[in-house]
């Protein structure tokens, strides 16, 4: 009986080739679009999932225009003045941290190391992020200039 149903369905598809092609193409495009949107949403919701306070962390990105410039400058950077102003202006902001990534040459004993992922951060870094320290106290970390935290 099931074999008969498939045979009739195939005959109808073969008889109406144009309509069948349009219907099957539309169904394929719809399913693929739905899957891609679902994957995109899953990817967007996965940010900071490994952090204890990940659902409360927000990233601020600047977009600004200078005098005489035709287009706005947009990028994943923020002025150093933004964090203190946000904390004063918006009561919802509990804490803020400023971070800057540079390539630095670091000296350890007699060795010079070219570190491509060197990050400068405020002492409040560990109030927001829950990275595990191999050694040291997270409450005293980054409390004075020229202190370094190393990760694995």
Q: What is the pLDDT of residue 39?
A: 97
Percent of the chain past pLDDT 70, that is, above it, reads: 100
Q: At 125, is the secondary structure helix, strand, or coil?
A: helix
Q: Residue 120: pLDDT above 80?
A: yes
Secondary structure letter of residue 86 according to DSSP: H
CA end-to-end span of the chain = 63
Tell me: the pLDDT tens digits for 4-57? Answer: 988 988 888 889 889 899 999 999 999 999 999 999 999 988 877 778 877 788
Any idea which residue has 């399913």 for tokens?
Answer: 31
pTM of the model: 0.59
- Other CB atoms closer than 10 Å to residue 87's CB: what's the count? 14
Element (H, E) at 107: strand 99-108
């Amino acid at each position: 009986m099931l074999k008969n149903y498939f045979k009739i369905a195939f005959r109808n598809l073969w008889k109406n080739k144009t309509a069948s092609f349009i219907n099957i193409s539309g169904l394929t495009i719809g399913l693929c679009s739905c899957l891609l949107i679902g994957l995109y949403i899953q990817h967007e919701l996965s940010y900071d999932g490994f952090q204890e306070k990940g659902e409360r962390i927000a990233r601020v990105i600047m977009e600004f225009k200078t005098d005489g410039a035709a287009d706005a400058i947009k990028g994943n950077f923020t002025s150093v003045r933004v964090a203190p102003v946000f904390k004063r202006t918006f009561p919802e902001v509990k804490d803020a941290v400023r971070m800057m990534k540079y390539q630095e040459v670091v000296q350890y004993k007699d060795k010079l190391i070219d570190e491509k992922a060197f990050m400068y951060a405020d002492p409040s870094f560990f109030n927001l992020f829950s990275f595990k320290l191999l050694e040291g106290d997270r409450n005293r970390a980054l409390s004075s200039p020229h202190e370094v935290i190393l990760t694995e």
